[in-house]
């Protein structure tokens, strides 16, 4: 098996991209198509309003993630923060990917809270795309920078 040299992480904000969504959704690493029944069921189950970042929130999240990356000595090659999701392309390190994502989500959550953002912020889980060579890594970087 090839060695992982990096990965692209995607974290979505709470309630903004539910299972069943018309854009499709990811479950267990598979992209699934729209399912209106599932979407309506998930909408009914929401306990908090959907979390959307404005320009100030996006800047806070961006900086919090970069600060945490510096603290844990994790090289981030590209980052993009949008109103409803975050993309990060980073080097592979000897830390579980789940723990790395937890570091970033928590850092962003704490920074947002200290800037007055209330409510639930992140969906459970995240999407990951592994890069096994420089070409794959460069494609992910290009995607995030141009997204």
Domain count, the chain: 2
The pair of structure tokens assigned to 107 is 């850092």
Predicted local distance difference test score (pLDDT) of residue 32: 86
pLDDT in tens, 62-108: 999 999 999 999 999 999 999 999 999 999 999 999 999 999 999 99
Query: Could you say which DSSP state residue 121 is in?
Result: -
Predicted local distance difference test score (pLDDT) of residue 135: 96
Distance CA 102, CA 21 (A): 25
Distance CA 135, CA 12 (A): 26
Which is nearest to 4 in space by CA: 136, 126, 105, 125? 136
Asked if residues 132 and 3 have their Cβ atoms less than 8 Å apart, the reply is yes
pLDDT in tens, 19-44: 898 988 877 778 889 999 999 999 99
> Is the same domain home to 136 and 110?
yes
> Is the same domain home to 109 and 139?
yes
**Whole-structure pTM value:** 0.89
Query: Could you say which DSSP state residue 52 is in?
Result: -
Residue 73 lies in a domain: yes
> Is the same domain home to 34 and 58?
no
Asked if residues 90 and 75 have their Cβ atoms less than 8 Å apart, the reply is yes
CATH number of the domain within which 133 lies = 3.30.70.1290
> Is the same domain home to 22 and 10?
no
| Radius of gyration for the chain, computed over Cα atoms and rounded to the nearest angstrom | 16
* Domain of 120, in residue numbers: 6-14+51-146
> Is the same domain home to 40 and 63?
no
% of the chain beyond a pLDDT of 70: 99
């Amino acid at each position: 098996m090839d060695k992982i040299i990096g990965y692209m992480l995607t974290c979505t904000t709470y309630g903004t991209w539910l299972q069943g969504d018309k854009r499709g959704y990811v479950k267990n690493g598979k992209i699934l198509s729209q399912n209106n029944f599932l979407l309506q069921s998930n909408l009914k189950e929401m306990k908090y309003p959907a979390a959307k970042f404005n320009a100030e929130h996006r800047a806070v999240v961006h900086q919090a993630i970069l600060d945490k990356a510096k603290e844990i000595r994790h090289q981030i090659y590209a980052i993009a923060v949008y109103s409803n999701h975050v993309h990060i392309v980073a080097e592979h390190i000897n830390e579980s990917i789940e723990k790395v994502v937890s570091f970033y989500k928590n850092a962003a959550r704490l920074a947002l809270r200290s800037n007055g953002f209330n409510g639930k912020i992140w969906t459970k889980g995240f999407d990951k795309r592994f890069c096994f060579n420089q070409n794959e890594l460069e494609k992910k970087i290009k995607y995030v920078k141009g997204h």
